[in-house]
Structures are given as C-alpha cells and as structure tokens.
Structure 1
C-alpha cells in the first residue's frame, strides 16, 4: 500500500471576532435626546426662578404681617394688602380703589369666592375709620382674612373697571 501522505501545516492565524460596538460616537438620535433634555432643564429652571420672583412680594408680606398682630396695627394690615396688590397690578388701578370697591377687589382675587372681605365690610370700615381700635376677635377675623388673601390671591386677570365710578 501506498504510504499516506501528510499534508503540511499551513501558517494560518486564529479567527478573531470584531470588537463589540462602542458607545462613542453617539448616534444622531442620542444627540437629539440630549439636546431636548437640556432645553427642558433650562426651561424648568427659568420657570422656577420666574415663579420665585413672582411670589417674592407675597413672601415678604407674610413675614411683615407676622409682626402686625395687635388691633392697633389694623391700618398697617390694610396698607400691606394694598402694597401686595400694587406689586401685581398697576398703581393707578389699585390706588383708586376704596371702600366697597376695594373689598370687592380683594374678594375677586380669591379662588374660592367666599366674599370674606365683603362679608366683613362693617368690621373693615370700623377698623379703618374709627378712632378706637377693633376688639381682638374682630381684628383676628380680619387678620386671618388678610393672611389668607396674601397667600392665595390669584392675579392673572384684571377685572373690568367702570370709568365713571372706579368700581369693580
């Protein structure tokens, strides 16, 4: 029999698998997602700052109101309400409101239309124009109503004003 021929071994290299796909460079879809996320974060930061600046008058008014806890300070409480209102509306509009129109303006800006200021109009009138201070219970009701108004008043819409009478 013939001798078995042996094949010579060839110098072949082992099979190498390609590297796994890398994260970098990012596909264009990821760049769009990153850009949209950055825009959303910038928008939220600006909205937060704007809201903080918008509520600055409220925060300062609540701090000042905390120091006005006696019936002798009734006029200062009313003045504080007027200053807060002028922070959000024009001075020409708010400064001309007096009496019933002022109390209606305050009630109009509360979300719950409970007519708290109008309901207490006799007490407010007495506190503003009487030489004697209000009783503690009367002052406490007006104080709580003022505190509620400073916290919860909505200033997004300015009501119509009658040019002749200046009433709301």
Structure 2
C-alpha cells in the first residue's frame, strides 16, 4: 500500500499524549509501615532518655553538691557523708546504708566500687572519716582528699541499676 502521491504519511499520525505524572500520594502501605516503625522508635527513645535522665538526676545533683562543698570549714566531712548517704539511700534502699557509720559505712562504700578504685578511695576517705568527730577535727587537706574520694565514689559506684520498669521514688531535688 503506497500512499497517494501528494499525501504525506506522517499527516496520518495522531498527536502524542504524555501520561499523567506519577503522584507520591497516597503512599504505599510499606511507606506507612516504615513511618509507623520510625515513630515508635523515636517515641521509645525519648521515653527511655527521659527516664534515664530522671534516674540519674540524684547522681548529678550529688556531684553538684560535692563540687560546691567548702573543704575549709569543719563541717565539710559531715556534709560529704550526708550527701553520700542520701545518694546511697536513693539508689540502694535495701542496703540501709544511711544507718551505717564508721567501719561498716566505709566497708559499704568500698564494696560498691570497682576493685581498681578501692585503694585510692580508701586512702582519701578513711583518714577524714575516722577523725571526723574528734576534737581536733580534720585538716583542710584531709577534707579535700575526702571530697575527691566522694566524687570518685559517686561517679564509679556500682549501685546504679537503671531499668525501664523502675521508678525513682524520690525526686533528684531531695538529694
């Protein structure tokens, strides 16, 4: 079939219509599932972070109080001991650490530390703790060593067991 002589075969073609643009909406079910999983992970992470932040609030508050303790006053060892007892009572209620004193208190504090930290803690804490209620009191150097040992204990003690199910009964402001 040959076209007539004066007719162009291209004139018989129809105009080309481009297809409609592909839309991103509505999303496929897989994308919705991915968004849902992402939101669940994000919300869970925020909840865990907030619980952990609240749980460690007492530790942060104790570190702040210890750092601001003046070692030049005679009451420094007693206030350092009070801070440590409040932290141990907050995190380790079963140990009844707040009722301990003297060697029992020192043993409790030492046993909560990792093995490699025990000697340095005892060297700094024990002299001031044993001279705390004597008439001559403690020297500022002993109080400073006790403060350093207490800071070490709050940072390194193994009494902090964070659990998603646990709830902190006292707020960090009570420390």
TM-score, structure 2 as length reference: 0.73
1:37-61 Cα deviation digits (max 9, x unpaired): 1011111111111111111112222
Determine the structure 1 residue equivalent to 2:61.
60
Between the two proteins, the alignment pairs up a number of residues equal to: 153
- Alignment check: 8 A CA contact 1:109 1:154 kept: yes
Taking the aligned partners of 1:102 and 1:138, their CA distance within structure 2 comes to: 18
SS of corresponding position for 1:15: coil
**What's the RMSD between the two structures over aligned residues?**
2.6
Shift of 1:33: 0.9
Determine the structure 2 residue equivalent to 1:143.
147
Determine the structure 2 residue equivalent to 1:106.
109
TM-score, structure 1 as length reference: 0.76
Determine the structure 2 residue equivalent to 1:166.
none
Would you identify which runs of 4 or more consecutive aligned residues in structure 1 move more than 4 Å?
A: 4-13
SS of corresponding position for 2:35: helix
Determine the structure 2 residue equivalent to 1:161.
none
1:80-117 Cα deviation digits (max 9, x unpaired): 11011111121762223322232222223334542144
Q: Which fold has the larger relative contact order, with Cα–Cα distance below 8 Å and residues 6 or more apart in sequence?
A: 2
Give ranges in structure 2 of 5+ residues lacking alignment: 162-175
Give ranges in structure 1 of 5+ residues lacking alignment: 158-168
Determine the structure 1 residue equivalent to 2:25.
24
